[in-house]
Amino acid sequence: MTTQKWQTIWITGASTGIGRELAVQLAATGARVAVSARSSDKLDKLAEKHANLHAFVLDVSNADSVAKTCRDIEANLGPIDLVIFNAGISATSTTAKPAAELYRNIIETNYLGVTNGLAAIVPKMIERGHGHISWVASLAGYNGLPGAGAYNASKAALFSLAESSRLELAPKGIDLTIINPGFVRTHMTEKNRFPMPFMVEPEKAAQIIIRGLRKKSYEITFPWQIAWFAKFLRLMPYPVFFWIVRHGLMRGRQKNQKQ
């Protein structure tokens, strides 16, 4: 990629996985890229790879810190044209043995981490009359699946937020994109003990995302096989949906775990 569309970009959750690869590829276009994550060591190593990468340590669950980081980025790098809220965590959960702390941690990072970012950046973009906001949700947000209730719920919340925000921000000159990946080879998916079909490498995932952002797409989904299956399940009547999950997905996971 040689064309430059954005001058200043902010990416959260940028120390590993999709966020890291997005930062590297976007910095190569000539844009100034602010990378945020909780790990200062990983950010510093990432920033060393390219002169256009700038590290800002941040815990997205802290609203005051998010607001300060946003101010610091603009003071040092200029007005943010594009923000990618990518920070996220995952964990196995079961309502049969609920753990309130686990649910809270996931919501505070995956959902409130985005809303904290919106509170910081939206007023600035409205004042300027332009900007592009995006966040990484997941195809998992389309369906509630056993063992992933906390994670899936946090991503489903981002779906509804995106639908509302798109319509509210468009008249202000602000574009909004929701990014819904399937399985991407990252440290989050490494711990999964079930089949993950159509796995995408982070380099390819970043390429797909950047291409969609340049087109100002509302939704970016990949791989198409998982995307269509998730949307198909969403359209099914609940008796059919529960039957497919119980007799297909759940049995497949249980069989794999026994092997």
pLDDT tens digits along 122-168? 999 999 999 999 999 999 899 988 888 899 999 999 999 999 999 99
Average pLDDT over residues 215-241: 94
Q: State the pLDDT at residue 250.
A: 57
Give me 248's structure tokens: 């297909």
- Secondary structure (3-state) at 94: coil
pLDDT at 194 over 60: no
Contact status, residue 181 vs residue 18, Cβ threshold 8 Å: yes
Question: What does the pLDDT average to over 243-258?
Answer: 63
Provide the token pair at 35. 């990378």
Per the structure block, which two tokens stand in for 71?
């101010």
151 is catalytic: yes
CA dist 184 and 208 (Å) reads 12
What is the value of pTM for the model shown? 0.90
Question: What's the pLDDT score for residue 192?
Answer: 57
pLDDT at 257: 43
Sequence-distant (≥ 6) Cβ neighbours of residue 240 within 8 angstroms: none
What are the DSSP E strand ranges found in 73-153? Answer: 82-85, 131-136
Give me the pLDDT at residue 1, please.
41
Phi then psi for residue 222, to 5 deg, are -170, 155
Query: Predicted confidence band at 183 (pLDDT cuts at 50, 70, 90)?
Result: confident
What is the CATH number assigned to the segment(s) 8-258? 3.40.50.720
> Distance between CA atoms of 251 and 114, rounded to whole angstroms?
34
Q: Distance between CA atoms of 249 and 227, rounded to whole angstroms?
A: 15
Burial 100-135, CB ≥16 within 10 A → b, else e:
eebbebbbbbbbbbbbbbbebbbeebeeeeebbbbb
Three-class secondary structure of residue 11 per DSSP: strand
Active-site residue identified among 103, 111, 142, 151: 151
Contact 19, 92 (CB under 8 A): no
In this prediction, residues 180-191 reach a mean pLDDT of 75
Using CA atoms, how far apart are residues 69 and 245, in angstroms rounded to an integer? 42
Q: Say whether pLDDT at 251 is over 70.
A: no
Q: What is the pLDDT of residues 8-55, one digit of tens each?
A: 999 999 999 999 999 999 999 999 999 999 989 999 999 988 899 999
User: What is the three-class DSSP state of 152?
Assistant: helix
Which helix (H) or strand (E) segment holds residue 146: the answer is none
Q: What are the tens digits of pLDDT across the range 62-115?
A: 999 999 999 999 999 999 999 999 999 988 888 888 899 999 999 999 999 999
Give 119 or 192, the one with higher predicted confidence: 119
